[in-house]
A and B are shown apart, each in its own frame.
Chain A
Amino acid sequence: MSILTTTSVADAVSRTHTISILVENRFGAFVRVAGLFSAKGYNIDSISVGPTEDDSVSRMTIVTHGDDGIIEQITKQLNKLIDTLKVTDLTYEPLVERDLALIKVQTTPETRSEIMQIVEIFRAKIIDISPKTLTVEAVGSSEKVDAIIKMLKPFVIKEIARTGRVALKREYYGEVE
């Protein structure tokens, strides 16, 4: 209920946010975070979790959307979890972000070279090949990964596995890559 009423509290325009969460690397910490989103009815566009430089800490990167009131509640509720060490909304920070997708495309001798051209343009890689398929590894911003998927769609995509966005705050203000 409360998330509905928050729309009256703040700017009600829905935006996409990338939220980075450091949690104690304990049994069940991930489920607590995911469970919070489902219990409160918040959206998860993508979620990724993995170890960090410190064994005792895991990082989760969640892409979500909502208006300012909802996003404020999400960060507060995440902070309220006992295992949470730090919550950062990277949306308004300069950040480096990557998304990785493995895309298995159907091929025929006629389409293969065209697909390889698209892969080239996106600086993606072919990591598996069979007479009837190619598997492409695409890495980049979520937008870039979305774009290559769109380009490959006409060739019939058989399967996609995608990590979801991972992100860190940018320290150097220029593009290195």
Chain B
Amino acid sequence: MTPSKESSPSAAHRTMTGFEIFVRSLIEEGVEVVFGYPGGAVIGIYDALHDISDIKHILTRHEQGAVHAAEGYAKASGKTGVALVTSGPGATNTITGIADAYMDSVPIVVFTGQVPLNLIGNDAFQEADIVGITRPITKHNYLVRNLGELTSTIKEAFYVASTGRPGPVLVDLPKDVLGGKTAFEYPKTISMRSYNPHVEGHLKQLEKAAALIARAKKPVFYVGGGTILANASDELRKIVKKTNIPVATTLHGLGAFPENDPLSMGMLGMHGTWFANTAVQHCDVLIAVGARFDDRVTGKPEAFAPNAKKIHIDIDPSAISKNVKCDVPIVGDVKNVLHKLLPMVAPCDTKDWLKDIRQWKAEHPLRYKNGEHIRMQHVIQQLGAITNGNAIIVSDVGQHQMWTAQFYTFMHPRTQITSGGLGTMGFSLPASVGAAFARTDVPIVSISGDGGIQMNIQEMATIVQYKLPVKIFILNNGYLGMVRQWQELFWKKRYSSVEMTGPNYVKLAEAYGMPGYSASRTEEVEGAIRRALDTPGPVLVEFKVVKEDNVYPMWPAGQTYNEMMDVPEDELSGVAGEDPISEELVTFSKG
């Protein structure tokens, strides 16, 4: 049989196996790509996929990679990502990815094979209670107990994953259930009496918010990833421009508002810009938009924006007043709420306030010293200058991630992809596989440290097999840099298990079948980046960077804004630098 895109009416009621029904259901959901890995419990599904041209199946090299790829796809496209794996070890290998998607509210549906129903609980070969294991890290999960409920479960799974506060949903598929036959009919509509996300902002609350904003002298927008999830960047831009209120974004909020706009202050929080944090600390009205007052943003919650009245717009009622008490909660979809709020607000008189902020930007820009040897900051800054914000930047976890957030000028939503909540090393490479299927019009740049790249390095083979134009940047400092930084600053420089070696990355690239080269001098950086972007298909670039370098500003965990440390003066005067004479001070700002 050769299935066609539109399920023909006759096909709609024909009896099919559960395997076929499963695949047809994905087509009904508009799924174009599935990231997965086969095995005994899902072999029937793989058989059904074999004939289907409407769905691409991408074979990753590890199930964790499949889930991160589904996340990368979801984050870059705004659609729901799909992963498919077998039972037992296939299922347990997805856990880190699922937990990651849960923390970052990424809409994905993970399908796991399961042993036959009558063997569940018997310690059967490749059995794992994946529904039990993932209960606390999924938005919801299902075990399909009979074929009759397969289509409605799939429909529900996609609906739950993508609506409200999005998140991962897992569907466990016992082999024998799908082995049965029944008529295929995909439900057209869905209604769940126990799940009705609240989308509309309450008018009274909107009025209160507008009144607070009208009286504000020093307001700040605190913009989180929820704004991007809600596709509300346009609405945000409009209300920011109308009110003249400066914007600080979280790690996941980067790109929601163009960072070259004078009202942009870049990122706030533990490694946020000095000016964003200072503005938040002095503001009188804080408008949190799709953000959750995470501890990496607030530090000690009671000391966060202490003088501000707080307005909090979020789709998740449980996010409100969870960590920091909020004065005007608005539960609703960020896009819907901002759209309604726009005509209710008037331009604020923020002239003096913006002057203060300009001064803080001038006094405390992001800074580093450029010398002969490459600083990560410089690589990122160059990448920003060359791509002009027109690229998808997929960072891993560590120092390079924070410098990417600081030194790249993000211009568009869904161009910054990273693991924030869980902070999963090894995220970048597989996530960029997913992003490559979401966007083919802009370069996909995967940025990893030498630590993180080795955690899912096997996905280089996936990238080569599918000829994905992923530009793999490895920022190699020979250390688990972020941990080393903490050991340096807070543990008396006792470096314990942070120095690490890796393979010869250039040879490794060649071994996997992609071009690769390295750069070790600052003057080579621009050329290396351009060459990578000009190379069609995948390419690996290793930047051998300064080994010991610290991310500033920073405040120690659990501390407050008052403990914020900027780059030490001795480092700027060249004492700590490698070659003080030839080093040049670089300053960088946002807005």
Tell me how far the C-beta of A123 lies from the nearest C-beta in chain B, rounded to whole angstroms: 39
Could you tell me if A6 and B322 are in contact, using CB atoms closer than 8 angstroms?
yes
Could you tell me if B194 and A85 are in contact, using CB atoms closer than 8 angstroms?
yes
Could you tell me if A5 and B135 are in contact, using CB atoms closer than 8 angstroms?
no
A9 to B293, CA, bound (A): 13
Could you tell me if A83 and B194 are in contact, using CB atoms closer than 8 angstroms?
yes
Could you tell me if B318 and A9 are in contact, using CB atoms closer than 8 angstroms?
no
Could you tell me if A82 and B160 are in contact, using CB atoms closer than 8 angstroms?
yes
B310-349 near A? 1/0 per residue, CB < 8 Å: 0000001110011111000000000000000000000000
Range for the number of chain A residues in contact with chain B: 20 to 34
Could you tell me if B317 and A8 are in contact, using CB atoms closer than 8 angstroms?
no
Q: Does A24 belong to the interface (CB within 8 Å)? A: yes
Binds A, one of B32-40, B137-145, B579-587: B137-145
CB within 8 Å for A28 and B301 given contacts A77-B318, A82-B140, A84-B194: no
Tell me how far the C-beta of A46 lies from the nearest C-beta in chain B, rounded to whole angstroms: 22
Could you tell me if A73 and B136 are in contact, using CB atoms closer than 8 angstroms?
no
A36 to B322, CA, bound (A): 16
Tell me the nearest residue of chain A to B324, going by C-beta: A9
A77 to B316, CA, bound (A): 10
Could you tell me if A80 and B160 are in contact, using CB atoms closer than 8 angstroms?
no
Tell me how far the C-beta of A53 lies from the nearest C-beta in chain B, rounded to whole angstroms: 16
A39 to B133, CA, bound (A): 12
Q: Does B490 belong to the interface (CB within 8 Å)? A: no
Tell me the nearest residue of chain B to A76, going by C-beta: B318
Q: Does A2 belong to the interface (CB within 8 Å)? A: yes
Could you tell me if B322 and A35 are in contact, using CB atoms closer than 8 angstroms?
no
CB within 8 Å for A82 and B321 given contacts A32-B135, A35-B136: no
A167 to B318, CA, bound (A): 25
Could you tell me if B321 and A72 are in contact, using CB atoms closer than 8 angstroms?
yes
Q: Does A10 belong to the interface (CB within 8 Å)? A: yes
Contacts of B43 in A (CB 8 A): none
Contacts of A9 in B (CB 8 A): 321, 323-325
Tell me how far the C-beta of A116 lies from the nearest C-beta in chain B, rounded to whole angstroms: 46
Q: Does A161 belong to the interface (CB within 8 Å)? A: no
Could you tell me if A27 and B143 are in contact, using CB atoms closer than 8 angstroms?
yes
Could you tell me if A82 and B195 are in contact, using CB atoms closer than 8 angstroms?
yes
Q: Does B295 belong to the interface (CB within 8 Å)? A: yes
A45 to B423, CA, bound (A): 35
Q: Is the interface of A mostly helix, strand, loop or mixed?
A: helix
Tell me the nearest residue of chain B to A74, going by C-beta: B318
A9 to B325, CA, bound (A): 5
Could you tell me if B321 and A28 are in contact, using CB atoms closer than 8 angstroms?
no
Q: Does A31 belong to the interface (CB within 8 Å)? A: yes
Could you tell me if A5 and B323 are in contact, using CB atoms closer than 8 angstroms?
yes
Q: Does B302 belong to the interface (CB within 8 Å)? A: yes
Could you tell me if B302 and A28 are in contact, using CB atoms closer than 8 angstroms?
no
Q: Does B492 belong to the interface (CB within 8 Å)? A: no
Tell me how far the C-beta of B59 lies from the nearest C-beta in chain A, rounded to whole angstroms: 31
Could you tell me if A35 and B318 are in contact, using CB atoms closer than 8 angstroms?
no
Could you tell me if A24 and B194 are in contact, using CB atoms closer than 8 angstroms?
yes
Q: Does A79 belong to the interface (CB within 8 Å)? A: yes
With most chain B CB atoms within 10 A of its CB, the pick from A2, A10, A24, A32 is A2
Q: Does B131 belong to the interface (CB within 8 Å)? A: yes
Residues of chain B in range 178-215 having any CB-CB distance to chain A below 8 Å: 192-195
CB within 8 Å for A80 and B140 given contacts A1-B295, A9-B321, A32-B135: no
A83 to B141, CA, bound (A): 11
Contacts of A23 in B (CB 8 A): 194
CB within 8 Å for A28 and B135 given contacts A1-B295, A2-B323: yes
Tell me how far the C-beta of A166 lies from the nearest C-beta in chain B, rounded to whole angstroms: 21
Contacts of B321 in A (CB 8 A): 9-10, 69, 72
CB within 8 Å for A2 and B322 given contacts A24-B194, A39-B136: yes
Nearest 5 Cβ contacts at the A-B interface: A76-B318, A82-B140, A9-B325, A39-B136, A85-B194
A residues within 8 Å of B by Cβ? 1-2, 5-6, 8-10, 23-24, 27-28, 31-32, 35-36, 39, 69, 72-73, 76-77, 79-80, 82-85
